[in-house]
Amino acid sequence: MGRGLAASALALLALTACGNDGRGSAAAQAADGPVERGRYLVAIMDCVGCHNKGAFSPKPENGFLQGSPVGFSLPNLGIFWPPNLTPHPDAGIGRWSEAEIVTALRTGMRPDGRQLAPVMPWKAYRNLSDADAQAIAAYLKTLPASPNRVPAPAQPETATAPYVAVTAPPSLTSN
């Protein structure tokens, strides 16, 4: 009987808590739909740290997900500039379906069959749940389309824009 009372008191507390912060109501749940979830995931998964136009500049928040002018060089693979993720049909990924975005996020496979370089952390994102991967894709589709273009992947001899590279001194690479 004592236990029953304690359990009811807990249930009451839980109900009161729900009422107090507005959660649990249908309206609050609707406001927390996939697009809001996607916005949250994009913020904490640091897409902006690479894909913003301002990445590596004094104003890294500028040009939200519009593609970075600074690429990453990977030994033996080439140089890769983080692309524009807004729904612009030519400069961005506006022609990709949400399913194609989900596949790229989790497997690194673009719709044209090219495997994204692993500097795009798809190996870390491969365990995203269906719901979370779809929420990110749905959110990207809501961004204002930007015409900003980034260079296609290149080699050092053909690079037309800045990039970051790590050069290891011989002492670290020789046996």
Distance CA 135, CA 31 (A): 13
Subset of 125-154 contacting ligand HEC (CB under 6 A):
136, 153
Q: Which is nearer to ligand HEC, 1 or 131 (CB)?
A: 131
Helix H, strand E, coil C: the string for 88-142 is CCCCCCCCCCHHHHHHHHHHCECCCCCECCCCCCHHHHCCCCHHHHHHHHHHHCC
The torsion angles phi and psi of 164, rounded to 5 degrees, stand at -100, 140
Which residue in the set 52, 53, 66, 82 belongs to the binding site for ligand HEC (CB under 6 A)?
82
Distance CA 86, CA 22 (A): 33
Distance CA 52, CA 119 (A): 15
Which residue in the set 102, 104, 133, 143 belongs to the binding site for ligand HEC (CB under 6 A)?
104
Binding of ligand HEC by 83 (CB under 6 A)? yes
- Sole window of 12-20, 22-30, 102-110, 158-166 interacting with ligand HEC (rule: CB under 6 A): 102-110
Q: Which is nearer to ligand HEC, 47 or 138 (CB)?
A: 47
Q: Which residues bind ligand HEC (CB under 6 A)?
A: 42, 45-47, 49-51, 72, 80, 82-83, 85, 93, 101, 104-105, 110, 116-117, 119-121, 136, 153
